[in-house]
A and B are shown apart, each in its own frame.
Chain A
Amino acid sequence: MAVPKSLQAPLQLKIFSNGFLVIWCILAAFPIVWIAVMSFKTPFDAFSSNPLNVILGPNTRANGNGLSLADLIIGTGLACLLIYGALKWLPRQIARFAPQGMPLFGWLIGVLVYGIFTLILYFAVLPNVMDVLNPLLGLLGQDIVGVTTEHYRAVWIDRNFTRNFGNSMMVTAGVVTISLTVGTLAGYGLARYGTDLAFWLLIIALIFRALPHSVLMAGYLPVFIWSSEILSPILGDAAPTLYGKPWAVIIVLVSINQPFTIWMLRSFFHNIPAELDEAARVDGCSHFQAFRRVIMPVMWPGVITAGLFSFLLAYNDFLVTSLLLDGQNMTMVPAIAGMFNRETTASDEVQAIAAAVSITAPLFVLVLVFQRQIVSGLTAGAVKG
């Protein structure tokens, strides 16, 4: 769309607004980039008051962990190659090898294999190759940046962060699956047949958005703690104590999130013309078949958007998980809060930073892949609400 000459901004305004944008981008990205840098340094460097020390990490380098200029060049080059490969080469291979009609499965395997390949390349092959190469390169081969992965190793291996990661995955997977299943069916039903309910749904979704989660937790918590006594008349001795089980968290998070998901999916299904399923019915599909064969292929964008938001809610939650789970079953976010509260040594602190970066990394990938869906989800709520 060409902007008419009369509406174009004068030069000063352009400079001002672009300058402002640059500042905003730095502001937005800086804290995240910075903790990522900090997580690779020894505590002494990470909390140094001189920013150059944090980036170059002289103390880390002195400990014998460093990268030379040649390392950096080759590493970056490889990364570029790998990203290029992931964008161009990988989809073609997946299209070739994936079994017919199961593209999702193919993608899953493909991404997994590619990820493992990358990890092996960076952590097993490259260090050994560079160890041989660096002395031969002279000045280029000298360490200039201190980098260490010891904190990541400490967090993931010594501190059993994998278990927290597993718990997080379990809770998020449960929440996303249940809320999408219920949400799709209810949303579809409401979009096609509900008339007055939609408004009330919106109100309920709004109220739930407004309710502080702790208010709900005050109601749920006693019930879960005493659940074995409450359920025992029905289930007998097998009645479980729900407190401390991931199931309890899933139930609570789903019920917090459900009105919003249903409402979002309802407005999405509303935009799919009803003639589509009518045509399917005319062609002899049953009610369910019409949904299965006609609606399901076109509903994915909306489902992905709604799924993203339930994922974010479950993944980012601190309050519900920290109240309902005990030490062993903690998900990642409360676990890290426990980590920095101890704060005994400086290296604990850097380990907490490494854990924080590990938590953020999946979200980063998520934005990278699903940017469009997130933006459309955010605006859809606004434009229709």
Chain B
Amino acid sequence: MFLMLIFIAAPLVTVFWNSFHITKPIYKQVEVETCTPGFLKTTCVTSFRQLPVLNAQGKVTTETFFVGLDSYRNVLELDRLQVALARWDLNAVNNINFWKALRFTLVFTILTMPLVIGMGLLISLAVNGTVHLIKGPVIFISLLPFIITPVIGALAIRWLFVGDGILTAGLEAFLQRDISMFAQGWTIEILMYIYRVWHVAPFAFVVFYAGLQSVNQDIMESAVIDGANRWQRLRYITIPHLMPLIIFVMLIHLMDAYRVFEEVIGFSSQAYVISLQWLTYDFLMPDEAGTRAISRASASSILTLIGIVILLIFPLRRAWRDRRGSA
């Protein structure tokens, strides 16, 4: 228990601390005279160069200092945002990494949610209605998209569409025009939504299907006697029965969709579409010079954290109230 606390709390504290500080090597200016042998007399050029200060062990000395909200400012790029907003230029806002990522993450979360719930419900109702014999195989096939490695799943979809892949070719034949799915942002985004629904719908399906098994048949029959048609039975008996499960799936999906990341890797969409988690990942990856922008990564992850707290505060407050009520 104690260890767990360390592993959970310590990183968060470090992140928080890092986001206000910046560590970088100390540089000093050195006057360097470079001489090249020339005719009659050597030519010497004196220049100033930035050299990292070495300490006694020959390592680069670094210093850490408090920068306040500077890292946040770097991530948010507020000045650019202000300029863009003042000109009512939404495209410009969309060019700033953080806001681009935020926009995509939120749209992604909100758009895929009803699709996943709807798909899950439809599949579970359909499976519930079929003959017993094929239920097993259907569940097996349905589980495949859910269990597959997310990056691989995204890649699989990408390979169907990349270049003149068969599905792109099919679409081209259907629409009579040239299509390339990976040349602009919005087509990639659509593919990402499709992928996510394909990936998560099985989860919703399994959960709803389990819920359908416990629908009270007596109530169903009495509803039939009272003259309720199929749609009314679904609307007034089945859906309310599944409501807790629907909320559960929504909650899980909310968390997972907010963490959207693998799609960006799988579709290599960095140039067009990025997500919040990818932004932090990108800061953490070493750049060409081999440095990792840890303080900026920390700042962006704290911002991500604030986002998830805002998203989750209502469901969690509900859980808390339920508990108070039941205790």
A residues at B contact (CB < 8 Å): 4, 6-7, 9, 13-14, 17-18, 20-21, 24-25, 27-29, 31-32, 34-35, 38, 47-51, 54, 186, 199, 203-204, 206-223, 251, 255, 258-259, 312, 315-316, 318-319, 323, 333, 336-337, 340-341, 349, 352-353, 356, 359-360, 363-364, 366-368, 371, 374-375, 378-379, 382-383, 385
B193 within 8 A of A: no
Question: Looking at the complex, which one of B125, B163, B297 makes contact with A218 (CB distance below 8 Å)?
Answer: B297
- Judging by beta carbons under 8 Å apart, are B159 and A214 in contact? no
- Judging by beta carbons under 8 Å apart, are A211 and B308 in contact? yes
B123 within 8 A of A: yes
5 A-B pairs, CB-CB below 8 angstroms?
Answer: A28-B145, A47-B162, A333-B149, A360-B149, A378-B207
Q: Given contacts A208-B8, A209-B252, A212-B258, is CB(A14)–CB(B294) below 8 Å? A: no
Residues of B within 8 A of A49 (CB): 164-166, 168-169
CB contacts between A and B, total, < 8 Å: 237
- Judging by beta carbons under 8 Å apart, are B277 and A213 in contact? yes
Nearest chain A CB to B289's CB is how many angstroms away? Answer: 15
Residues of A within 8 A of B262 (CB): 318
Which residues of chain B from 251 to 267 have any CB-CB distance to chain A below 8 Å in the complex?
A: 252, 255, 258-259, 261-262, 265
- Judging by beta carbons under 8 Å apart, are A28 and B144 in contact? yes
- Judging by beta carbons under 8 Å apart, are A218 and B280 in contact? yes
Residues of B within 8 A of A21 (CB): 123, 126-127, 130, 138
B298 within 8 A of A: yes
Q: Given contacts A31-B157, A221-B284, A323-B284, is CB(A315)–CB(B301) below 8 Å? A: no
Q: Given contacts A20-B122, A337-B265, is CB(A32)–CB(B210) below 8 Å? A: no
- Judging by beta carbons under 8 Å apart, are A212 and B280 in contact? yes
- Judging by beta carbons under 8 Å apart, are A212 and B304 in contact? yes
Chain B residue, CB-CB nearest to A18:
B130
Please give me the 6 A-B residue pairs with the lowest Cβ-Cβ distance, nearest first: A219-B11, A49-B169, A255-B7, A379-B210, A214-B280, A215-B301
What 0/1 pattern do residues 286 to 325 of B give for CB contact below 8 A with A? 0000001010011001101100100010001001000100
B residues at A contact (CB < 8 Å): 1, 4, 7-8, 10-15, 18, 122-123, 125-127, 129-130, 136, 138-145, 147-153, 155-157, 159-160, 162-166, 168-169, 198, 202-203, 206-207, 210-211, 217, 220-221, 224, 230, 245, 248-249, 252, 255, 258-259, 261-262, 265, 268, 276-277, 280-281, 283-285, 292, 294, 297-298, 301-302, 304-305, 308, 312, 316, 319, 323
Q: Give the distance in Å from the alpha carbon of A383 to the alpha carbon of B249 in the complex.
A: 11
Q: Give the distance in Å from the alpha carbon of A360 to the alpha carbon of B302 in the complex.
A: 34
Q: Give the distance in Å from the alpha carbon of A341 to the alpha carbon of B259 in the complex.
A: 22
Residues of B within 8 A of A218 (CB): 11, 15, 18, 280, 283-284, 294, 297-298, 301
- Judging by beta carbons under 8 Å apart, are B148 and A360 in contact? yes
- Judging by beta carbons under 8 Å apart, are B261 and A17 in contact? no
Residues of A within 8 A of B258 (CB): 210, 212
- Judging by beta carbons under 8 Å apart, are B259 and A51 in contact? no
- Judging by beta carbons under 8 Å apart, are A356 and B144 in contact? no
Chain B residue, CB-CB nearest to A379:
B210
Q: Give the distance in Å from the alpha carbon of A199 to the alpha carbon of B326 in the complex.
A: 12
Chain B residue, CB-CB nearest to A34:
B160
**Interface core residue of A318, A336, A363 (most chain B CB under 10 Å):** A318
**Interface core residue of B7, B130, B147, B305 (most chain A CB under 10 Å):** B147
Q: Give the distance in Å from the alpha carbon of A49 to the alpha carbon of B165 in the complex.
A: 5
Q: Give the distance in Å from the alpha carbon of A220 to the alpha carbon of B298 in the complex.
A: 11
